[in-house]
Amino acid sequence: MSQPSHRAILANQPRGAIAGNAPDCAFSLGSIAVAKRASCGAGHYDRAMATEQDVRALLAAGDDALADAAFRTGDFGKARELMEAAHAEAVRGTDVTEQASALDSLGMLAHYENITKLMSGSAVSHDDIEAEERLFRQALACWQQLGEPPASAQSLFGLGLVYQVLHSDWTTAMPYYWQALGLITAHEATGLYLRSEVHRHVGFYFLVEASEPAEAVRHLQISLDLREELGDQRRIPSGLVALAEAELEAGGRDRAIELLRRAVAQAREAGLLPERIRDAERTLAEAEAASPA
């Protein structure tokens, strides 16, 4: 079964259901909880660094630091420093694209900080969830000023994450995910990792909410293929685990075990966080213990 068109789903949604009541693009980080930390930390980076490097370079370095924190170290300090520097430089300029990209990056930083808390068994506060959502809504407001280009898929995907992951609300999340899927499908220039992540979470929808494991396998295979094309060894094991879970549900136990053995080996080789390695090991043990179909 093919998924419904994101356009068909959105056709019955009021505009505010997607954009929200987003304020103007001009934005003060100090106005929300997570950004208070960012604005208070503005002195933690060398302003000369922000003027000598362009925003895109700072964001690229911040994204790499974020991947290291999310998958290997759990320390988000360097990523925050770089992304705050990028945002500070962006708001001093007039490029709305750079402002939107910086806000999206801070939104993803907030999201990974929040899910790292969840993975460790800690609660995520209402203020932290609200702060993450506001960053993505503000970024989307910027993209809307530019006519919602393909890059707005990042903000839409981020809002989907807020509702799916932090509110367990698939009904509200899916219109954002469908619209992001439409954009990344039509415009491959949106980036390999974003494309992988959108397919990943759409795959989760078919796996755990729609109970369509074959469609989940299709999306999660695409997601893994994109991760492998990207070549970032930190991000491949999670793709292997997700696809294996869908394969198990679809009756493909042997392939699931093969994928999970690869995931465990690659997670160890990449030096991932202990909880990520344990997650792959636990899923493998459960698959091996399950009776063959």
Say yes or no: 12 and 147 in one domain: yes
Locus of tokens 């299709």 = 218
Residues 142 and 221 in one domain: no
What pLDDT does 148 receive?
84
User: Is 131 part of any domain?
Assistant: yes
CA angle 76/77/80 to nearest 5° reads 85
Choosing from 151, 177, 207, the residue where a domain stops is 151
Whole-number Cα distances in Å, 271 to 77, 89, 146, 225: 19, 33, 40, 21
Is 162 part of a structural domain of the chain? no
pLDDT tier, 62 (very low <50, low <70, confident <90, very high otherwise): very high
* Residues 197 and 127 reside in one and the same domain: no
Is 132 in the same domain as 208?
Answer: no
Residue 147 in domain: yes
Q: 25: pLDDT confidence band, cut at 50, 70 and 90?
A: low
125 within some domain: yes
The whole-number average pLDDT for the span 206-216 is 98
The mean of the pLDDT values for the chain is: 85
Number of folded domains that form the chain: 2
Residues of the domain holding 65: 7-151
Residue 181 placed within a domain: no
> Tell me, what CATH number does 229's domain have?
1.25.40.10
196 with 128, same domain: the answer is: no
Q: pLDDT category, 293, cuts 50, 70, 90?
A: low
Kindly report, residue by residue over 152-179, the tens digit of the pLDDT: 999 999 999 999 999 999 999 999 999 9
Which of 124, 151, 178 marks a domain boundary? 151
**Residue 132 domain-assigned (yes or no):** yes
Residues 273 and 26: their CA atoms lie apart, in Å, by 37
Residues 52 and 113 in one domain: yes
Residues 104-139 have pLDDT tens digits of: 999 999 999 999 999 889 999 999 999 999 999 999
Kindly state whether residues 11 and 142 are assigned to the same domain. Answer: yes
State the pTM of this model.
0.83
Residue at token pair 């294996």: 244
The reported pLDDT for the residue numbered 24 is 52
In a domain, 138, yes or no: yes
